[in-house]
Copies of this chain bind each other. A is one copy, B any other.
């Protein structure tokens, strides 16, 4: 009998050329499909919720696939993770992509089309000196940031707006650029290696590079390069040129998908 399976996936994006399957390069989708094809003994293609870029991490990516295959649903997770760990075990390391949840869904369910929204986290490292062990996992900002100004800027982003100003070239231009940001929080965190700033954003959907451009704009506000009171006008202009820089990929984490 055909089953429709929803996977929850975490990955360290450092050594992947992003989510989307591409010939000749290591991608998360490609790696998972290869493991699933072997475990399910049939060709499997998965539908991911978010096509994360190279270097972007995930704590709760989702993907679905359906098929009539042998292995029981409750054994799928262990079998998949054993398959994913397989190639790297010689060095005593686990895989950099793991399945952390497997659920059977109704036949018509689709991981991407049925998603109601997403939550991302962006981690800034604010310690004065570089921590080389964090270089793949956050964005190191040396200068002091005006958090109060950043929070005033963030307030103007929350809500339903045309966010064309926060979309990188390469996005789907035929699609509407109106999105709703439900919350945008700036949280100070005392981490082992020093002070971090976590920018947590949730919304009904995000344009191409939107979170990274929002973060870059907030950093520019924190450094006094952009006036916090200008954010409303930047959004109204619908012009990417008026927004801030694109924060690098390695600070970004896809935290959760809402259904």
Give the B-binding residues of A (Cβ under 8 A). 10-12, 55, 57, 91-98, 130, 132-133, 135-137, 139-140, 191-192, 247-250
Contacts and interface: CB of A to CB of B under 8 A. Distances in A.
Query: How many copies are assembled?
Result: 2
B92 A132 contact: no
Given A130-B98, A132-B97, A91 B248 contact: yes
Contact of A93 (B95, B247, B248): B248
Given A91-B250, A191-B192, A137 B133 contact: yes
Contacts of A97: 132
A139 B140 CA distance: 26
A250 B92 contact: yes
Contacts of A191: 192
A249 B137 contact: no
Interface centre among A92, A130, A191 (most CB of B within 10 A): A92
B192 A93 contact: no
A255 to B, nearest CB: 13
Contacts of A139: 92
A132 B248 contact: no
Nearest to A85: B130
A139 B96 CA distance: 14
Given A11-B132, A132-B12, A192-B192, A94 B249 contact: no
A57 B134 CA distance: 13
Interface centre among A57, A93, A135, A249 (most CB of B within 10 A): A93
Contacts of A140: 94
A12 to B, nearest CB: 5
Contacts of A11: 132
A137 B95 CA distance: 13
A160 to B, nearest CB: 31
Nearest to A129: B100
Contacts of A135: 12, 93-96
